Structure 1
């Protein structure tokens, strides 16, 4: 599996274009906006986009999902259903953050802990990681030891928990009980900022590391 990080929206959200090298089937994880930029990335790499994957319901992670799904007739998978209220509030989120109007939508498939999603011949494992939002999920590609964690964990930081239904203790549990056990060598792509490894964050992160 290969991936390409494409920053989108004024929030510089890391949308990840991931694909199977054998089939050239691809997915976009967290298509937060700038649909034409994302489609250009798909085309430039000669890929066939087959699905959209969402880690959580915040507008900078889902803003282009409904548009792309309708234009390409492809499904939206994720997040976990506890984030339904965030997707229902997309019109309000649009107004609040100065985005073009984005209608509410329901994904084609809600995801749960232990589910898997396929991209060509590649399998991503689903991890329910509440805290930043109650229905937040992460995606883990075991073969390449790569995780896409949305806004749960960042290099040197963690996700905010001051939004509606945020839960700081739950976020720390998600990091320590769902992400770190995957292994120190795992590289993770956060929703914003540079990539890191779970091992580096376990040793150095001032909010969720071993010394906290």
Structure 2
């Protein structure tokens, strides 16, 4: 069974998720935006072994601790989609713009594309390409647990911003309505910020989806 703990990090209260296979104790961090010592302490407290660092997109508050964690642990960084490479290249500028500690540019060890599978112990995550908030945004779905990690694509009652470079509102709405929602109303999703929800709840109540502006 796949288990998880949400650990808000950075001044933006970004939902970093520590996920693990409870049979093998293999763990991954999804979107480690900062506070690397705190994340490593959480792994140790659960008695887990970190085997993956997974990124949904290239914004600073989602990737800020990834390179530091890789350097300290030797664990590879996987994701996002290669279309977000330019965001990772300008991490120093992002950190300066938002008043974060200097964050050097880095490249992941491998990119993710639609249809990829990520194995974590005996658990599997499916990868879906969901651009719009950024051009290389991906989401991760556990079919067995009906759980999804959606980064900044969709929130409880909201959607991701599209006013950043290469963001596009119409593309984001299509990603949600044509990729996310068809996966099933019962799926619980963990967004990049704020509380979790379900695709079904957002489909009928999220004002950006019930009254979309294309």
Name the counterpart of 1:73.
74
Deviation at residue 40 of structure 1 after TM alignment: 1.1
Equivalence for 2:36: 35
Match of 1:12 in 2: 13
CA distance in 1, matches of 2:113, 2:22: 27
CA-CA distance at 1:198 after TM superposition: 0.2
Alpha-carbon distance in 1 for matches of 2:178, 2:112: 19
SS in 2 for 1:208: helix
Partner of 1:195: 196
What is the CA–CA distance in structure 2 between the aligned matches of 1:52 and 1:6, rounded to whole Å?
Answer: 14
SS at 2:207 equivalent: coil
Query: Structure 1 residue 31: deviation in Å?
Result: 0.1
The answer for the alignment partner of 2:143 in structure 1 is 142
Quote the residue 2:64 is aligned against.
63
Q: Does 1:51 align with 2:52?
A: yes
Q: Following the alignment from structure 2 to structure 1, what is the Cα–Cα distance between the partners of residues 65 and 173?
A: 29
Runs of 4+ that moved beyond 4 A: none
Counterpart for residue 98 of structure 2? 97
Residues 19-43 of structure 1, C-alpha deviations (whole Å, 9 max, x = no match): 0011000000000000111111101
State the Cα distance separating 1:96 from its structure 2 match.
0.6
Aligned residue in 1 for 2:185: 184
**1:57-106 per-position Cα deviation (integer Å, ceiling 9, x unaligned):** 00000000000011100000000000000000000001111111111001
Partners of 1:94 and 1:192 in 2: CA distance:
19
CA deviations 1:34-57 (Å, max 9, x no partner) are 011111110110000011000000
TM-score by length of 2: 0.97
Structure 2: tracts of 5 or more residues without a match: none
Which residue number corresponds to residue 133 of structure 2?
Answer: 132
State the secondary structure of the residue aligned to 1:207. helix
Q: Which residue number in structure 2 is paired with residue 167 of structure 1?
A: 168
Report deviation, 1:208.
1.6
Residues in 2 aligned to 1:71 and 1:146: alpha-carbon distance in whole angstroms: 29
